[in-house]
């Protein structure tokens, strides 16, 4: 394969960059660009990409997939490169490991575990496609022995969102705001009630240019005269967070108390009044009965007389 020759040349170019020789840097960049075109050409021919998903600050261990054994290989005859998209991550040449500045102090090559690349802690900017290249010297020139790629997605999790009350824009209407920050990838915020989507006000999604992390917020108006069980839902990547907000229609306090007083008055006063009225009536009744005794006796006598 003519490609192998180019690869070995490209490794030399990387060597030039390793020496950090400023005048030669541009030339090596061109050569590396050439190498990448070549590698991706080769890569397309190989089988599917391994996919991995990790969170910011976590550790990742990327497999190279090359079955390496000390017995079969003279380490001096081996060259390992780990690259990410269009940049170098790490090289292992002549038993020396070189780590590129962006990965310094947090990246290791695990030679014993078939050239795994380990990164700890992960930055959001570490996401991308990593390629492991294994070359071996055969008959004087380095030959490509193995090429594998791992697609790494780095996630940053949103905290549980905060829902804050935001005043009352008009009578009966309450406004709340849902807010969450520090997540990735781009989130989608929705308001839900009874599984139905409600329309939020001024839903905004912004991204911090440096950390690349997103902030999302949205407001919602609801009618205070009903009970509500509202969910603020934030979906990002294959994850989601949500926060429930329940609103209980407040008891109509001032008119209610008046009613209660009114009822107390009715409950206490009305029987009392009835009692008084009843007693008066009974007294009047007995007095009238007493007064009417003679009159009532008459018909009683008549009736008894009629019965005899």
Ligand X SMILES: *[C@@H]1O[C@H](CO)[C@@H](O)[C@H](O)[C@H]1NC(C)=O
Residues 11-17: contacts with CB under 8 Å, at least 24 apart = 11/79, 11/81, 11/93, 11/135, 11/142, 14/81, 14/88, 14/91, 15/93, 17/88
Is 18:91 a contact under the CB 8 Å cutoff? yes
CB of 153 or CB of 224, closer to ligand X? 224
Nearest in space to 84 (alpha carbons), one of 47, 46, 57, 52 = 52
Q: Does 105 bind ligand X (CB under 6 A)?
A: yes
Q: Does 162 bind ligand X (CB under 6 A)?
A: yes
Q: Does 20 bind ligand X (CB under 6 A)?
A: no
- Interface with ligand X by CB under 6 A: which range of 120-128, 226-234, 259-267, 288-296? 226-234
CB of 155 or CB of 219, closer to ligand X? 219
At its nearest, how many Å lie between ligand X and the CB of residue 101?
A: 6
Nearest in space to 115 (alpha carbons), one of 143, 135, 129, 139 = 135
Binds ligand X (CB under 6 A): choice among 46, 225, 260, 303:
225
> Which positions from 62 through 81 interact with ligand X, judged by CB under 6 A?
65, 67
Binding mask 243-262 for ligand X (x = CB under 6 A): -x---xx-------------
At its nearest, how many Å lie between ligand X and the CB of residue 137?
A: 20
Q: Does 303 bind ligand X (CB under 6 A)?
A: no
20: left (phi over 0), alpha (psi -120 to 50) or beta: left
Q: What CA–CA distance (Å, rounded) separates 16 from 18?
A: 5
Binding mask 185-224 for ligand X (x = CB under 6 A): ----------------xx----------------x---x-
Is 161:242 a contact under the CB 8 Å cutoff? yes
């Amino acid at each position: 394969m003519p490609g192998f020759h180019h690869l070995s040349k490209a490794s030399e170019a990387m060597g030039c960059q390793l020496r950090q020789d400023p005048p030669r840097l541009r030339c090596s960049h061109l050569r590396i660009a050439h190498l990448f075109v070549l590698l991706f050409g080769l890569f397309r021919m190989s089988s599917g990409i391994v996919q991995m998903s990790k969170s910011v600050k976590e550790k990742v261990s990327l497999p190279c997939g090359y079955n390496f054994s000390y017995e079969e290989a003279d380490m001096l005859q081996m060259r390992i490169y780990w690259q990410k998209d269009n940049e170098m991550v790490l090289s292992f040449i002549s038993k020396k490991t070189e780590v590129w500045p962006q990965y310094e102090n947090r990246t290791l090559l695990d030679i014993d575990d078939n050239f795994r690349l380990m990164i700890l802690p992960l930055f959001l900017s570490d996401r991308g496609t990593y390629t492991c290249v294994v070359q071996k010297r055969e008959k004087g020139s380095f030959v490509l022995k193995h090429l594998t790629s791992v697609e790494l997605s780095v996630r940053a999790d949103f905290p549980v969102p905060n829902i804050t009350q935001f005043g009352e824009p008009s009578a009966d209407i309450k406004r709340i705001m849902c807010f969450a920050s520090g997540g990735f990838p781009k989130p989608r915020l929705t308001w839900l009630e009874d599984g139905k989507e409600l329309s939020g006000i001024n839903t905004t999604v912004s991204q911090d240019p440096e950390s690349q992390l997103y902030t999302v917020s949205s407001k919602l108006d609801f009618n205070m005269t009903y009970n509500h069980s509202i969910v603020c839902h934030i979906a990002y990547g294959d994850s989601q967070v949500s926060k429930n907000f329940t609103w209980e229609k407040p008891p109509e306090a001032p008119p209610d108390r008046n009613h209660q007083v009114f009822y107390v008055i009715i409950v206490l006063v009305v029987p009392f009044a009835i009692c008084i009225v009843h007693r008066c009536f009974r007294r009047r009744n007995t007095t009238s009965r007493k007064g009417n005794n003679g009159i009532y006796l008459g018909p009683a006598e008549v009736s008894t007389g009629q019965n005899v």
